[in-house]
Amino acid sequence: MAPAAAPSRLQQALRDAAFAGLVTAALSFPMLAIRVESDMNNRLVLEERWPLMFAAIAFIASARFLASMLDDWRARAGAVAGVWSMLLGAGLAWFTTGAQAALAPWFLGGGALLLAAALLLFRASPQEAEPASGAAPAAASAGRFVTLAGFVALGVVVAYPLVLLGWLGPQGSLKWINNYGVQILIYVMLGWGLNIVVGLAGLLDLGYVAFYAVGAYAYALLATTFGLSFWICLPLAGILAAFWGILLGFPVLRLRGDYLALVTLAFGEIITIVLTNWVELTNGESGISSIPRVTFFGIPFTAAPDGFAATFGIAFSPIHRTIFLFYLILVLALITNVVTIRLRRLPIGRAWEALREDEIACRSLGVNTTNTKLTAFALGAMFGGLAGAFFAVRQGFINPNSFTFMESATILAIVVLGGMGSQLGVALAAVVMIGGTEILRELDFLKAVFGADFDPSQYRMLIFGFAMVAMMVWKPRGLISTREPSIFLKERRAVAGALVKEGRG
């Protein structure tokens, strides 16, 4: 940066910051600064909270100012974090007393340090050159890296519950295996299932949760009404969901793009409404409870003499069931993955991808596009149904609230963020999105900063939504956007993401 340009840059940054502050003021003036509350007589009254508005302005304007002043992203991130920490410290010192106020110097000091470090370390450093997009050698090594990383990740996942069990014991590890292990793996499987539809065939499905619901209710109803075991119901749930996929898919698959998305969205909503209102079958909002729990191939996970613990001569612990569920969903997810990877190298898989690239060219080569789309749709639905049956057996209770549009949106976000078509990318995205929101449950320590009535959990979905936007702006093509060719003559070279089409269907 030439010295002569520096003052104008400062001016520009100040102008940017002032504008951002102004917009923030306009956005937060009614929504943040004034809150509508019901009083004792149940009448609405206005409660003024001006400090919140000024805090929002200060945070946003300072961040905009720093972003305009600094070029290096590390300097930006560090400086913004530092300044925000100092602002928070100032706020604590000003508005609070006691233990909260005592934290203020830490925030002020730490923030100042962070700001100084960011400015000193990164400001002077030369801008790193952006890696050229689509460079063949880089893409090729990335392809090998992806395969290797996949195997390493698989090893880590297989060892995960046992390592935790050994480290934290049955009590301590339960939460980690269940909330982080099983929960994430369900979404990995759903993501992989939807990836067939969206990532490979390029068909935008916003109602994927419908098949998840079909699978869950299929197991719940078959098990509670006819007493069928989980191992019989699991394939039935998959078949039923695939059948629904064909049934719903047949009329709609000639639609394109956003229209297909909306029809699938409508189907998803219709199924939820029917599940809520068809009380005779589904018990409506109250849902289906006491769904038979999973057994170890017939041996129940109970403390009874014929239970799992007694049979294998170990002390009873509820963790056994959780660990079994973990490996069960891992196997189901891996089946989804292996089937998808194999199908990609078969004519049907190549036809899916060709369909995503150019449907008209496909038709000119004699590909029956309706059947090709239907297989993708049905297969995706089948894996969704299997995951649904697993969900029902894990929860033991289901109701329509588990199958809202939010779920479809989350799964689609995982697929898109993962990089459409990339199996490892989808798994990574599931870990980031689901693991991330689970971690947001662990923010109780923030009560020390913001006071005892601060409830971090209500910010969970707020941050989730914002993260979706931020990740799309940061990486519109997802975490792993390169495409692995399904066959090769001499050497397998990954195709740069910019060349891969996203499909119109």
Partner 1 sequence: MSRWLTDPILAVEHLSMRFGGLVAVNDVSFCVGRGDITALIGPNGAGKTTVFNCITGFYKPTQGRLAFAREGRADAAEVRALTNTGKRHARLPSGDIYLLERMPDHEIAAKARVARTFQNIRLFGGMTALENLVVAQHNALMRASGWSLLGLIGAPSWRRAEASAIEKARAWLARIGLEERADDPAAALPYGDQRRLEIARAMCSEPALLCLDEPAAGLNPRESAQLGDLLRLIRDEHATSILIIEHDMSVVMKISDHVVVLDYGALISDGTPDFVRNDPHVIAAYLGVSDAAEAEQVVAEISGEARP
Partner 2 sequence: METFLQQLINGVTLGSIYGLIAIGYTMVFGIIGMVNFAHGDVFMVSTFIALIAFLALTTLLGIPSIFLALLLVMIIAMVMTSVWSWAIERIAYRPLRGSFRLAPLISAIGMSIFLMNFVQVAQGPRNKPLPPMLNEVIYLMGEPGAANAVTIAWRQIIIIAATAILLAIFWYVVQKTSLGRAQRAVEQDRKMAALLGVDVDRTVSITFVIGAMLAAVAGTLYLLQYGVVRFDDGFIPGVKAFTAAVLGGIGSIPGAVLGGLLIGLIEVMWAAYVSSDYKNVAAFSVLVVVLIFMPSGLLGRPEVEKV
Q: How far apart are CA 101 and CA 97, in angstroms?
A: 5
What is the rounded distance in angstroms from the CA atom of residue 88 to the CA atom of residue 110? 11
Q: Which of 110, 134, 257, 300 binds partner 1 (CB under 8 A)?
A: 134
Nearer to partner 2, 82 or 503 (CB): 503
131 lines the binding site for partner 2 (CB under 8 A):
no
Give the shortest CB-428-to-partner 1 separation in angstroms: 21
Instruction: Tell me, residue by residue from 361 to 400, as one string, x for binding to partner 1 by CB under 8 A and - for no binding.
Output: xxxxxxxxx-------------------------------
Residue 495, strand partner residues: 483
Taking CB under 8 A as the criterion, the residue among 6, 46, 102, 162 binding partner 2 is 46
Asked if 374 and 505 touch (Cβ cutoff 8 Å), the reply is: no
Binders of partner 1 among residues 173 to 192 (CB under 8 A) are none
User: What is the distance between the alpha carbons of residues 98 and 297, in angstroms, rounded to a whole number?
Assistant: 58
| Residue 247 near partner 2 by CB under 8 A | no
Q: Is 45 in the site for partner 2 (CB under 8 A)?
A: yes
Among residues 467, 479, 494, 496, the one that binds partner 2 under rule CB under 8 A: 467
Min dist CB 399 to partner 1, Å, is 37
Closest CB to partner 2 among 222 and 417? 417
Where does this chain touch partner 1 (CB under 8 A) — which range of 11-19, 350-358, 429-437, 449-457? 350-358
Got the DSSP string for 11-74?
HHHHHHHHHHHHHHHHHHHHHTTEEEEE-TTS-EEEEE-HHHHHHHHHHHHHHHHHHHH--SHH
Token look-up 């909306």 returns 262
Q: Does 63 bind partner 2 (CB under 8 A)?
A: no
Q: One symbol per residue from 183 to 202: x for binding partner 2 (CB under 8 A), - otherwise; what is it?
A: ---------------x----
477 binds partner 2 (CB under 8 A): yes
Surface-to-core class of residue 242, CB atoms within 10 Å of its CB (0-12 exposed, 13-18 middle, 19+ buried): buried
Cβ contact 171:474 at 8 Å: no
Query: Rule CB under 8 A: is residue 426 a binding residue for partner 2?
Result: no
Distance CA 305, CA 308 (A): 8
What is the DSSP code (8-state) at residue 75?
H
What percent helix, strand, coil does the chain show, rounded to 5? Answer: 75, 5, 25
Q: Using CB under 8 A as the criterion, which residues of the chain lie in contact with partner 1 when the complex forms?
A: 134, 136, 339, 342-343, 345-348, 350-351, 353-354, 357-358, 360-369, 483, 485-493, 495-496, 499-501
